[in-house]
Structure formats: structure tokens, C-alpha cells
Structure 1
Amino acid sequence: MKKILITGASGMVGKKLYSALKERGYTAHCVVRKKQNIFENEFVWDYENDYLEEGALEGIHSIIHLTGATIAKRWTTAYKKEIISSRVDSALFLEKKVKEKNIKLQSFISASGINYYGDWNDEKAATENDEPQKKDFLTEVCRLWEDSANRFEAISERIVKLRISPVISAHGGFLEPLKKLSNLHLASPVGSGKQYFPWIHVDDLVGMLLFALENENMNGSFNACADEVPTNAQLMKTLAKSMDKNYIPMAVPGVILKLTMGEMSEMILNGVNASNQKIKSKSFIFKYNALDDALKNVIN
């Protein structure tokens, strides 16, 4: 029976991944800040103070690294450092501990973000070979995140970095505040409304993580997004329709978001048009490629 170490297991994606791994017969070691008693094999870690509970890495053949402080919180200078350190320093800590145990991993699978590409609103979708354009804070986060994953090259046969888009789920994720607006018949675009908004259904993301784990031809960076990449206006209109609510075509001016959210408004006002052809070329099959179908699934 293969053992997998998961970071970020208590998050929205991590919990579903944990259940999926169990169903497939894997043993999952979940590292947690403090004992939660929700996973069979919990191990306490504190990467800031160089602590990993004994046994966490015993028999481990792969690591799935999902941990990271939420970006949906005001970006003060201190919190921006936490966004980076929770992703990067935690990975460097794992690298150190794996080396100390002389473990050779079969795979190290790390989350990254579709924001790697910066503000990419071209009609030509960004591919994994493209360099970022119009860089912003999240671009730098993703670059550092992936650099920390690349450090596993000497101790892992494969490294997979999934550039994850905003995740559509019935519980949690970016949809929660948008559904509240739609319930009040206040669904409307923001900024120009023309900025692209890539997305992925949580079931497809979990499936992609399992696919990366089990397929030896998976190596390098992959965009984790569905076929359909709507604009912000199309997203809000489709959401309102899915909830049988009114859609207001008048856009909320971007300046209002900048005043109320500060630099954090970048993740709403900037867009990314991304291609998923690379992951599809590896024979990964999506369950949800149309936004309407994905929204109906989680709303109904």
C-alpha cells in the first residue's frame, strides 16, 4: 500500500483529495498545525520552528503540497509575507526533512496558481511555455512557489506543478461571496468586465492531482483550468442565470474595488486566458468543461 504525505489536507481541496486517496487504497499522512482528529494519520508540523512529528515521512513515496495562506484577505505588507512563506518556506522545510531521512520520492506534486501568467487578457491563451506578462504580486508568489518545488529535483523522480485556477465548489471557494450578491439580485461585472476568468471544478482538480500522482508521464507545469474561459461579465451573467436571479449589466467601477480592497483588487480586475491543452495531451479527461454545467452541479 502506497503512502502519500499531504500538506493542506484540511482545506477545501485537501479534504476531497484525502477521501479520494482512501477510496483508491492509499494511506495518507496528513500534516497539521495541531491535532484535529479528522484524519486517520495526523502528524503535527511547524515549519517555522523546524518541527515535524516523528513518523510523518515513514514509508512515504510521494508528497502532495497544497498548503498556503488564503489570498482572500487584505494584503498588508505582513500578510503578503505570510502568503509567500506559507507556500515557499513550508516546501523548503519538507525538502530539508526528506533529505535528512535520505528518502527518494517518486513524485513531488505542488500547487501553484494560474496567476503565474500575470494580467494575461490576450485572445491567445497562455500555455505553459509562455513567460508572464504584466506581472503583479501573485505572479511573484507563483514564481517563488514553483522555484521551491523545483528544489526537489535531486530527491524526486518527478515534479509536477499545477497552476490552479479559482476552484468551483459547493462549499467554500470564490463562489461564496458571489452567490451572496446574486441572491440579492446584485450580480454584475466588475471593472471592464472583459477580463478573462479561468476556473476548474473541484472534482476535476482532485482528479488532476490523482492523475499527476499515478501517471509517470506527468512532469513539469500544467495549467489546471477548464476549456471554457469566460470573461468576468460572462461569469456573473451565467451565475445569475444558474441561480435564477437578475443580472445587472452595469459594471462596478474598478476604482471602487481599488479603494476598498487595495492591491488585493488585482486578483479580480486582472484576468488570465489560459490553455489546458497540455494536460489534455496527457489523456486527462475533464468532467466539467462548460461553466454552466459546473455551476449547476454545485448550486443545485
Structure 2
Amino acid sequence: MKVLLFGPAGAGKTSLMRTTCLGYNFMRVANLAPTKGISRENFIFRGLIEVNIWDAGGQQKYMEQYFSETQKEFVFSEITTAIFMVDSTKIDPTIKEIFETYVMNILEFSPHIEKLYVLLNKIDLQNSQEDQIYELLSEVLSDDLKERVEFTPVSVKEGTAQHRLIEILDQEIQKSTLSLQKLGKIRHQLDSFQRDTLADYFLFNRPDGLLITSTLGKFESNPLEFMKFEIGSLDSNIYKIYQKILELKGINTINPLNLDTITYKSEESYILLKDIGNNAVLLAIIKKNEQALLDVIRKLNSDDFHELEALLSEKLNAM
């Protein structure tokens, strides 16, 4: 699935891609260097669909290359999702020309696209002029095209741009038979876990932290981030202690430790988190009952769980 992120320099395209697909916080992307040419990166969005993001650097010299006779078919063909992003604080007359040429090339080389998305970024700033930019860009659209182009005022800093990109990619999942089949199999596994243990299960993708599915269905939640900080330091401390204990016992062979499961508890529940390789994190909510907790632990060491691991590790065919 080819996603083209296009627009003038400084619009926030790379920041959007990294905060959405890699789970970076805004401070980590606040001062990125300009993208040189086209940066292509692959991600597995929500653990369900392979996304190949073409992040096109927006400096003028690169724009000329993208629109040239030798490169335009390469850049604008076989696109699944086209997103044009612009800095709403800068009204530059060249934006209109860039947008018009962009739309023309999309229609020529990827005519199958049903919707074109335009993100008017940085509306969190006081000098944002998203209404004026909307009017400027709309001038190049025919009445028919206006039905196909969706404008959205957003802010990468405040998270609304990420939310919009997630919405757009979720729509592509709904169009993908392979992705829906995989989702159905995963949900079937979690439902069987629930029947056998009476716990609720929530499966999160890595590295974006987005919910793949749960036994309570789909719902909006913040991306899961705990793995990036707490567990790394905890794992390191445990290994040092473990190493010392083995030395005291006269055991010289020390195998690497792999973080497997963490359990939290409240007055009402146990909250168990299990790392599933590099693909996902499974969260279980269990009524505060020791037998119920043991049932979940057994389930997470069973053949059923290994089937879920294998399913999450399956490589998706090109979409």
C-alpha cells in the first residue's frame, strides 16, 4: 500500500509520519532537518496492513524533480492514498501551483484513487490562516474534484493530524480483504482466550502502540507507550541482580534474559501485559482472583497463544 505524503517544505510531513507510525512524541520531531528527496519507509499499521510511506521532501529543487517528465510517473503512479500537507501559517503563491500540478499528476497516474486528502497543519499557532489557504487551494478544483478532495485543519503538535492520518489508514484496512481476514482470525483467538479464562484481552501493535483489536471491540485509546521506558530500565536492573545471584550460587553460564510478562494490580483487578516478540503487546484485565490469574498465565503459555504469535508474525502479501 503506497501512501504519498506531499507538500511544501516545513509542512510537518515527516513529523506526522514519525509520530503516527513510530510512536515518537512531538518534542522528538520538533527540529527535524528537511527531508532530502523522497524517503520511503515501511510500517505494519495496526499489525494488519503493510504501509509504504513515500515522504516527499518539499524544497523547490525536489518539487521540480517530482514533476519532471523523467520522474513524475515513478512518483505518482500506483498510489493507494494521497495526502497533501501544507503549513497553514504561510500563504505562498507557489502553493497553489504546486497543488494544481500535484492533483493533475495524481489523476493521470493514479486515476483509481477515490479521495484526495489535504491536511492544513499548524492550526494551533495564532497566525494560522487555514481558511485563506483552503480558499486558495480550492480555486484549482473543478466542481467534480471538490467532491473528491477532503480538507482537514490539523495540528501535529496537538495530535489531531495523527488522529486524521489514523482515520484515513483505517479506511484502507476496511477495503483490504487480506487485512480483514487477518483481523478476523486474531479476534477469534482473543475471543477463545476470553471464554477459557473469563478475562478481557486487548492487543496493541508495535511500534505505533495502536490497538489492533480487543474482546470489547474497537475503541479509541491512547497508543501504548510503557514499553519504551519503564521496561527497558527494569529489564536491565533485573539482569544485574540475576547475574549476581548466579555468581553466588557458583553458576558461571548466564543466558540472556527475555522480558516476558508484567503484572499490575488494583483493588479490583490484575492487569497483565505480555510482550509478543517485536510485533505486539497483549494486555489482559483479570478479576482479582488468584485462580483466574493462574488460568490466564497458563493460557499465555499454551499452544493457543503460540498460534496467536504465529498469526501476528505472518507476513502480509503486497497490497
* TM-score, normalization by structure 2: 0.36
- Which structure is larger by alpha-carbon Rg, 1 or 2? 2
* TM-score, normalization by structure 1: 0.38
